[in-house]
Amino acid sequence: MHRAGVSRSAFGRLPDGRPVELFTLTNAHGIEVRAMTYGAIITSIRTPDRNGTQADIALGFDSLGGYLAGSPYFGAVVGRYANRIAGGRFTLDGVGYQLARNNGPNTLHGGARGFDKVLWRGEPFEAGSTVGVRLRYDSPDGEEGYPGAVAVQVTYTLNDADELIVDYEASTTKATPINLSQHTYWNLHGDGRDILDHVLTLNASAFTPVDSTLIPTGQIAPVAGTPFDFRRATPIGARINDQHEQLRFGRGYDHNWVIDRDRPGGGGGALVHAARLEDPVSGRRLDISTTEPGLQFYSGNFLDGSIKGKGGRVYGHRTGLCLETQHYPDSPNHANFPSTILRPGQRYQSRTVFAFTR
Ligand code: BGC
């Protein structure tokens, strides 16, 4: 039996000298989650397999230097706008905005220096067997070209139900698009093998097809009869090489699914089950519930062996996958998508729960 707790330690310094802190959350079953103040990044998640053997099921680096040298958003909170905005352009209340284009012709995950590359402030908390860390960041008006000063808070909570709860809150001084997500790369094997044998279920009857630069066409397309139908548990590798234009554009899966809800077309709301990921080898299982309307499933297609991560492990093609609960990509340019505009006086609130079983 373990004792639930949260500890705080130093995790190096940024080039400008500011110290980065690391928080280690542990629950009574020995599940351990580590998160740091740089990028609100989850650096590791240790869970038991069916035999009780612990392993780290999240990709990342051993030290801060790895994250600073260049990371494909391993474990980070992505924002101010998670996912892509076409041409880095949008119009809001009649005013046009231009963001940095950091992904071909588009803006990805907030721009050149998104929320994954800024220093947050962290405060740990403990309430009985529930432990966590509250991370805060004040994004100045005009940061990365976005209007309004935005105060953001992300809370990571670990409880004895073996759930990692991520709560997002934000407020703004001017109307702005906002879309926050968690960019952990999962590998339930907890080793260097690829994730093609992981079995995925998605509670989604539709997805948002994209163009060749991964910007949604605006269509909400049924998944029925396509390799995008994960309503029944299916190994990720089963159809990933099918001849399908959308798989070609994504180089695999890199798309937003529209989570099924009682009230379709809504901008989210109640917590619903969105995804289940199972590893038949280790017996580990991850269930994801969210208040968000969408989920980007990215099958790690751009991992190519050029990154050396924790313990010197080389992250090869598809050795990690992301399940990013969020609003749909490029929503500011699609009137038919649930709105991502936050206005002064409103409160942005969003929750995603990651539940670990075996
Ligand atoms: C995107 C991928 C991208 C990755 C970052 C995901 O959210 O959908 O296209 O490559 O983030 O490396």
| Residue 302 Cα: closest atom of ligand 1 | 10
What's the confidence (pLDDT) of residue 78?
98
The pLDDT tens digits of the residues spanning 312-352 come to 999 999 999 999 999 999 999 999 999 999 999 999 999 99
- The answer to whether residue 262 scores a pLDDT higher than 90 is no
Q: Name which residue sits closest to atom 6 of ligand 1, judged by CA.
A: 298
Mean pLDDT for the stretch of residues 109-137: 98
Average pLDDT for the chain: 97
Question: Would the CB of 60 count as within 6 Å of ligand 1?
Answer: no
- Which pLDDT does position 40 carry in this prediction? 99
Q: Is the pLDDT of residue 142 over 80?
A: yes
The mean per-residue pLDDT over the stretch 86-98 comes to 98
Would you list the DSSP string of 152-218?
A: EEEEEEE-TTSEEEEEEEEEESS-EE-B-EE-PEE-TT-SSS-STT-EEEE-EEEEE-B-TTS-B-S
Average pLDDT over residues 31-54: 98
Distance 83 CA to ligand 1 centre (A): 7
What does the pLDDT read at residue 60? 98
- Closest ligand 1 atom number to CA of residue 72: 12
Which residue among the candidates 21, 143, 278, 324 is catalytic per the annotation?
A: 324
pLDDT (0 to 100) of residue 266: 56
27 Cα–ligand 1 center, Å: 31
Indicate the top mutation candidate among 302, 306, 326, 327 to test ligand 1's pocket, ranked by most ligand atoms within 8 A of CB: 302
At residue 288, does pLDDT exceed 90?
Answer: yes
How many A from CA of 183 to the centre of ligand 1?
A: 9
At 11, is the secondary structure helix, strand, or coil? strand
